Structure 1
Amino acid sequence: MKRQSQTGFGIIELMIAITLGIVLSGAVIQVTLASQRSQRVLEAVSQLQESGRIAVSFLTRDLRMAGYMGCPNLERIPVNVIAKTPPSDLNFTAENVLIGQDNVSAGNAYSAVANTDIISIQRAVTPAANLTGNMATNNANIQISSNPAGLGAGDFVFITDCINADLFSATTVSNGNGNQITIAHASNRNITNKLSKIYGSDAEIMGFQSLVYFVRDSGRTTPAGNAIHSLWVQARSLGNGAAPIATELVEGVEDMQITYGEDTDDDRDIDAYRSAADVTDFSAVLSVRIELLMHSLDDNIIGSSGEFVQNSLSFNGAAVASDQRLRQVYSTAVAIRNRLP
């Protein structure tokens, strides 16, 4: 029986197969890496959009309510403050319910990032409650049927009927037995226990709140060691009369710059947008323009060349240095409702 010879791969065929395998493997690796990189970029973009939207939402909601005190406004009805030794964040006048600080220095009172802006707001808190009892004298403890704002002892409280307005410190707030909640305004926490008038059932009762928005270092870093900045708010909460507490709201807010639309000739129209340092009268500010510089929370999102390159970005009049994090600018303008024509 004749035997057939068998032959295998030669060295040349083997080298060609290895080369083709390396090329194909390299192509697969490149496609996989590009896909992963694209996914990281998409996630970074999504994070920036979500964080920017939330930050703008917080600021817009509170800024438009600066100086709110129910149906009247401070131009028509000044608030009669009878609270004894009110704290520094309570100065409810037209000049102080909206105040800005421009390009703050390091070591400021809020530990805000140097050269960022700070904005302070004062307003009444809704929902309001209506006066329901003890309406015979102006020094009586006022009564309401419900407490939707969660007012407590030590809180600062507005009462207004759109003709007059008082702001006092609540000495006690009952728990609502018998569907009546009693709020006392005794002279131990107030200059006097007398309100400016005897209010009727048309009067509304609301809490007072102060808020300060600023950008602060979160204390956290990215894997590459880059600092993560966040938007913070220092707010006076209701319920126990506690001092304002700083709370981190949105991470990834690198910088905040604010300009103020000022009516300089009292015609109820904005004449110029100015930085806080250049505003001559904050009571004449009708609108606020906010710009936020957002940064991604991951490193190595963008490169110096190739597909994932971010065009040069300018913020606050200067080019933004790149550290391979993705950045985006969000801006909005907010009208102050109580100052609209």
Structure 2
Amino acid sequence: MMNKKHSCGFSLVEVMVAMVVGLIVMSGVFALHSATRKTQVKNEEQMDMVADARFAIEMIAFDLRHAGIWGGTSDYLLIDCYYNDPGCSTSSTGGEILPTVLGTDCAAGWYYDLENPVVGVTSGSAQLSACITSREAGTDMLAVRYADSSPRTILEEGQVYVRSSNLGGRLFIGDKQPFLDINDASSLTNNHEVHAYLYYVGTYSDVPGDGLPSLRRMSLVNGPSVEDQLLIPGVVDFQVAFGEDTDNDAKIDRYIDASKVTKWTKVYAAKIWVVMRTDEKQDSAIDTSVSFDIDGMTTSYGGTGGNRYFVVSSLANIRNIKREID
């Protein structure tokens, strides 16, 4: 008897079924990879923005820690020719140029107002806004002034400096330094570049009308003049609360907004909040609304616009302001 031969293998139907199953599995893997990648990209975008926000906050905190130091002294009364200084001689003592009010200044004498090295401006105030063309509604502003800690041996024409020691000093502009009546020849007497910044939230980032608000600052630059500088895009809110000493014990008794500060010489610290939103939008059907606790108040952001929101905060000590006791 002869054995019948049987063919082994898959039928065409089985092969087609296997191919369909394989395609389904592969499409699922691809969809999972795509979704994971999108999530990763969004998370990376947010982490980059958080890093930018922390960098900006650290920059502000650095300025606050140095506010009120004028080279060799923190006593502005020892410095000649600050804004509204009644004792400033209009004649130079060394051929130097004395500071004057700029036409582009944020307020008259703002950049050399040594008496108030830290000033906050609440959202409802137009104070210091003469130099700003587009400020985001509902946001605070913060002005900070100080002299650079590193002495300048080479002076630049048009730059604002203070020549000072622990016994006194004088403001001047340019490459001709003044001669101080006290301690001028001492090794402790040096020239320091003056910094003045006004932090605020603008309604645009790159060009007016682009719809992306940003953290910006007006900065004193060579000229002298005031320059509008972009720090980080995507900032929708900037809030500051100030730690005030109310009983002259050099300890903070309360944190308040700028409108409630009685004397800026009694402010010892500042709490800073920066609220950011992503530039890339999610599905507009997704509700991205979120609430943050800012200065003891719950504030809500977002909705169905597709942008995600997050907040970065910090606390900065204000160490160098000349203190006044009532």
Smaller-chain TM-score range? 0.7 to 0.9
Aligned residue pairs total: 291
Deviations 1:96-131 (A, max 9, x none): 2111111157987422211111101111123114xx
Distance 2:167 2:130 in 1: 40
CA drift at 1:286: 0.9
Among residues 129, 138, 158, which one is paired with 1:115 in the alignment?
Answer: 138
- Paired position in structure 2 for 1:205: 191
- Paired position in structure 2 for 1:190: none
Asked if 1:159 corresponds to 2:170, the answer is no
Deviations 1:62-117 (A, max 9, x none): 11111111232127x442214353443234343x2111111157987422211111
- Paired position in structure 1 for 2:93: none
Asked if 1:281 corresponds to 2:263, the answer is yes
Asked if 1:90 corresponds to 2:111, the answer is yes
Question: Which residue identity lines up with residue 54 of structure 2 in the other structure?
Answer: R
Among residues 221, 237, 240, which one is paired with 1:258 in the alignment?
Answer: 240
CA shift in 2, pair 1:303/1:196, >3 Å: farther
Secondary structure of the corresponding residue to residue 319 of structure 1: strand
Distance 2:168 2:205 in 1: 46
- Paired position in structure 2 for 1:176: none
- Paired position in structure 1 for 2:299: 318
Distance 1:241 1:278 in 2: 35
CA drift at 1:228: 2.3
Distance 2:242 2:166 in 1: 28
Distance 1:335 1:274 in 2: 15
CA shift in 2, pair 1:340/1:17, >3 Å: farther
Name whichever of 287-296 and 100-109 sits farther off: 100-109
Question: Which residue identity lines up with residue 231 of structure 2 in the other structure?
Answer: L
User: TM-score if structure 2 supplies the norm length?
Assistant: 0.76
Distance 1:86 1:108 in 2: 13
User: Is 1:220–1:227's contact at 8 Å kept on the other side of the alignment?
Assistant: no
Distance 1:59 1:301 in 2: 35
Asked if 1:246 corresponds to 2:228, the answer is yes
Deviations 1:240-299 (A, max 9, x none): 433011111222222110011111222211111111111111121111110011222322
CA shift in 2, pair 1:155/1:16, >3 Å: closer
Is there any run of 5+ residues in structure 2 with no aligned partner, and where?
82-87, 89-97, 103-108
CA drift at 1:8: 8.5
- Paired position in structure 2 for 1:134: none
Secondary structure of the corresponding residue to residue 119 of structure 1: strand
Q: How does 1:162-311 map to 2 (within 5 A)?
A: 162-170=166-174, 173=175, 183-185=176-178, 195-197=180-182, 199-201=184-186, 202-219=188-205, 227-237=211-221, 240-300=222-282, 304=286
Distance 2:191 2:101 in 1: 19
User: TM-score if structure 1 supplies the norm length?
Assistant: 0.73
* Percentage of matched positions with identical amino acids: 22
Question: Which residue identity lines up with residue 165 of structure 1 in the other structure?
Answer: G
CA shift in 2, pair 1:18/1:154, >3 Å: closer
User: Is 2:160–2:224's contact at 8 Å kept on the other side of the alignment?
Assistant: no
Secondary structure of the corresponding residue to residue 127 of structure 1: coil
Distance 1:301 1:229 in 2: 21
- Paired position in structure 1 for 2:92: none
Asked if 1:124 corresponds to 2:147, the answer is yes
User: Is 2:75–2:322's contact at 8 Å kept on the other side of the alignment?
Assistant: no
Question: Which residue identity lines up with residue 165 of structure 2 in the other structure?
Answer: D
Distance 1:268 1:235 in 2: 31
Distance 1:220 1:206 in 2: 33
Is there any run of 5+ residues in structure 1 with no aligned partner, and where?
130-145, 174-182, 186-193
User: Is 1:302–1:326's contact at 8 Å kept on the other side of the alignment?
Assistant: no
Considering only aligned residues, what root-mean-square deviation do their CA atoms show, in Å?
3.5
Deviations 1:19-67 (A, max 9, x none): 5245324312321222222221331232123212211121111111111
- Paired position in structure 2 for 1:80: 80
